[in-house]
């Protein structure tokens, strides 16, 4: 029954997705028929506009450039329904729901069903909604984060993050520079050294989103290991900004400047600190004020805007949006209406976050893995496999720099938690290709590394983190209950 519905939906979406513009174009025709009269191009589309229950007067606008609302609705429906059905399937086979959402994205992506387009107006809208989704996710993680606990694990997180960046970089660079597996033609004017540095850099990324979501799905956010992982992942995002800036400089043929590197680093770290300190000073007053407001939904809207504002300011300041959203969550975890905020933001997160994970999955070109397919290349798969090994052990070993003291820590869990490269890895790889540093073959091999590390992390985390009795009763504000 569920599958039948799914197939039917897939068919409908298959209709709506790629042919969105066509459907748009046909709407006026329908009306022309209905009026059984020659309706001019000037008038007819507006009838279609009305049929779509327009909310603004500028529909001349979206009729030319913007997607038609009905087609947009169908794409959103496809994303959410597939995300939930695949997420449910994943949980039924004992996997985290996020794995199902990534697979849903794979299926809906341009390389399979094409329901989630890679370019065009709908792609842009989905992209923006995905940004809201990841921001709200990190906001929720921040809400669950106790600053004191973060400081307690701060040193451990920093150690894991730094080693988790140095090891993969060194190993990746060494492999590429000495073993020289160069696949595809070496782009003009790019030395083997630069390519090697770049390959190393792409191995350093960590996707806090994937791991955080898995830990939430598995109800393990309260574990010491989880706090270390989240802290390390956030630090990795900061380091990622620095590495990305440096690598981009190299891509542009720039010579490195210690000042420039230091500055990028300072801005990224500084924002997080300043945001949390200032936030903690302002938020309590602000939310006492909001508590006196009576209009519907004011608390939720305020929290939602608070998260988006911090995210936007972080980006404007040259830091990462998710760092800002995470900071916003940490700040609001200390206000009086905390419980209500957690309760109210959850349904909003339920709508937006799947859009992010489906988007990540949709960016994958399945053709890479299909023997005989146009994009298939055995050599690429081999090199990709080697990069996967380097990427995996580089982060896994990073987990072993902590937990040597009296406290017993699950080092494998910490290491595995750092493995997924996710969307950050995709971005790293994409710069290299667009800057002409990576041949298409090298790009594909890196892409395989990103995909595999992203998809194996959820099931592996489930294995290395063996839920203990005390996890069951533990507080799980944002995870847990079916609806």
State the minimum distance, in angstroms, from the CB of residue 453 to a copy of itself: 15
212 to each of 220, 235, 417, 473, how far by Cα in Å?
A: 10, 14, 9, 20
Tell me 37's DSSP state. Answer: S
* Contact residue for a copy of itself among 6, 77, 159, 381 (CB under 8 A): 77
* Contact residue for a copy of itself among 87, 172, 279, 399 (CB under 8 A): 87
227 to each of 154, 249, 251, 254, 277, how far by Cα in Å?
A: 9, 33, 35, 37, 20
Tell me 418's DSSP state. Answer: T
Query: Which 94-113 positions form the footprint of a copy of itself (CB under 8 A)?
Result: 97, 100
Handedness of CA 131, 132, 134, 138 (dihedral sign): positive
State the minimum distance, in angstroms, from the CB of residue 114 to a copy of itself: 13
Query: Which 231-260 positions form the footprint of a copy of itself (CB under 8 A)?
Result: 237, 240-241, 244-246, 248-249, 251-257, 259-260
Q: Which is nearer to a copy of itself, 231 or 399 (CB)?
A: 231
Region binding a copy of itself by CB under 8 A among candidate stretches 158-166, 328-336, 357-365, 393-401: 357-365
State the minimum distance, in angstroms, from the CB of residue 451 to a copy of itself: 11
Query: Which 329-348 positions form the footprint of a copy of itself (CB under 8 A)?
Result: 337, 340, 344-348
Structural tokens at position 135: 């921001």
Query: Which 287-316 positions form the footprint of a copy of itself (CB under 8 A)?
Result: 289, 293-302, 304-305, 308-309, 311-312, 315-316
Q: Which is nearer to a copy of itself, 37 or 378 (CB)?
A: 37
Residue 440 near residue 185, CB atoms below 8 Å: no
Query: Which 124-153 positions form the footprint of a copy of itself (CB under 8 A)?
Result: 124-125, 127-128, 130-135
Q: Which is nearer to a copy of itself, 36 or 469 (CB)?
A: 36
Give CA–CA dist 171/177, Å, rounded: 10
* Contact residue for a copy of itself among 321, 342, 388, 396 (CB under 8 A): 321
Give CA–CA dist 308/158, Å, rounded: 26
For the beta carbon of residue 235, count every other beta carbon within 10 angstroms.
25
Alpha helices in 375-439 (DSSP H): 378-398, 411-417, 422-434
Give CA–CA dist 45/30, Å, rounded: 10
Query: Which 166-195 positions form the footprint of a copy of itself (CB under 8 A)?
Result: none
Q: Which is nearer to a copy of itself, 156 or 216 (CB)?
A: 216
State the minimum distance, in angstroms, from the CB of residue 207 to a copy of itself: 10
State the minimum distance, in angstroms, from the CB of residue 1 to a copy of itself: 6
Give CA–CA dist 40/393, Å, rounded: 65
Query: Which 414-443 positions form the footprint of a copy of itself (CB under 8 A)?
Result: 423-424, 426-431, 434-436
* Contact residue for a copy of itself among 18, 25, 91, 459 (CB under 8 A): 91
Query: Which 381-410 positions form the footprint of a copy of itself (CB under 8 A)?
Result: none
Instruction: Work out whether 275 is an interface residue with a copy of itself (CB under 8 A).
Output: no
Burial class (CB in 10 A: 0-12, 13-18, 19+), 333: middle
Give CA–CA dist 209/357, Å, rounded: 9
Region binding a copy of itself by CB under 8 A among candidate stretches 77-85, 150-158, 161-169, 458-466: 77-85
Q: Which is nearer to a copy of itself, 21 or 344 (CB)?
A: 344
**How many chain residues interact with a copy of itself (CB under 8 A)?**
150
Over the range 361-393, which residues count as b (16 or more CB within 10 Å of their CB) and which as e? bbbbbeebeeeeeeeebeebbebbebbbebbbe
The packing angle between helices 20-34 and 69-92, to 10°, is 130
Instruction: Work out whether 42 is an interface residue with a copy of itself (CB under 8 A).
Output: yes
440 to each of 197, 315, 385, 432, 437, how far by Cα in Å?
A: 17, 30, 16, 10, 10
Q: Which is nearer to a copy of itself, 268 or 390 (CB)?
A: 268
Give CA–CA dist 444/44, Å, rounded: 47
Instruction: Work out whether 51 is an interface residue with a copy of itself (CB under 8 A).
Output: yes
Residue 332 near residue 283, CB atoms below 8 Å: yes
State the minimum distance, in angstroms, from the CB of residue 340 to a copy of itself: 6
């Amino acid at each position: 029954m569920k599958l039948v519905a799914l197939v039917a939906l897939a068919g409908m979406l298959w209709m709506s997705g790629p042919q969105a513009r066509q459907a748009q174009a046909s709407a006026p025709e329908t009306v022309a028929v209905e009026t059984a009269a020659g309706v001019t191009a000037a008038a007819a589309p507006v009838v279609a506009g009305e049929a779509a229950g327009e909310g603004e007067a500028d529909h001349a606008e979206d009729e030319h450039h913007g997607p038609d609302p009905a087609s947009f609705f169908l794409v959103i429906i496809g994303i959410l329904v597939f995300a939930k059905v695949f997420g449910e399937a994943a949980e039924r086979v004992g996997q985290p729901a996020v794995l199902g959402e990534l697979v849903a994205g794979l299926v809906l992506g341009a390389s399979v069903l094409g329901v989630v387009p890679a370019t065009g107006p709908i792609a842009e809208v989905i992209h923006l909604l995905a940004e809201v989704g990841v921001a709200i996710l990190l906001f929720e993680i921040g809400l669950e984060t106790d600053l004191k606990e973060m400081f307690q694990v701060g040193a451990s997180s920093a150690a894991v993050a730094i080693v988790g960046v140095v090891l993969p970089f060194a190993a990746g660079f060494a492999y590429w520079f000495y073993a020289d597996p160069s696949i595809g033609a070496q782009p003009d004017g790019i030395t083997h050294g630069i390519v090697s540095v770049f390959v190393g850099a792409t191995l350093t990324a960590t996707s806090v989103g994937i791991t955080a979501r898995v830990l939430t799905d598995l109800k393990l956010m309260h574990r010491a290991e989880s706090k270390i992982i989240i802290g390390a992942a956030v630090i990795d995002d900061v380091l990622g900004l620095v590495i990305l800036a440096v690598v981009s400089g190299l891509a542009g043929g720039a010579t490195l400047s210690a000042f420039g590197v230091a500055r990028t680093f300072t801005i990224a770290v500084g924002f997080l600190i300043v945001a949390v300190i200032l936030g903690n000073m302002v938020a309590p007053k602000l939310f006492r004020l909001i508590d006196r407001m009576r209009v519907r939904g004011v608390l939720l809207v305020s929290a939602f805007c608070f998260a988006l504002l911090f995210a936007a300011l972080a980006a404007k300041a040259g830091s990462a949006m998710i760092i800002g959203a995470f900071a916003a969550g940490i700040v609001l975890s200390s206000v009086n209406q905390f419980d209500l905020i957690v309760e109210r933001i959850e349904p909003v997160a339920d709508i937006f976050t799947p859009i992010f994970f489906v988007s990540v999955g949709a960016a994958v070109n399945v053709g890479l893995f299909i023997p005989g397919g146009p994009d298939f290349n055995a050599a690429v798969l081999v090199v990709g496999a080697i990069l996967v090994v380097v990427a995996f052990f580089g982060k896994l070993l990073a987990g072993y720099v902590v937990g040597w003291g009296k406290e017993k820590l699950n080092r494998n869990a910490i290491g595995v938690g750092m493995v997924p490269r996710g969307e950050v890895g995709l971005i790293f790889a994409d710069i290299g290709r667009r800057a002409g540093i990576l041949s298409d073959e090298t790009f594909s091999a890196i892409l395989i590394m990103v995909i595999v590390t992203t998809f194996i992390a959820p099931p592996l985390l489930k294995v290395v983190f063996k839920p203990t009795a005390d996890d069951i009763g533990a507080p799980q504000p944002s995870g847990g209950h079916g609806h």
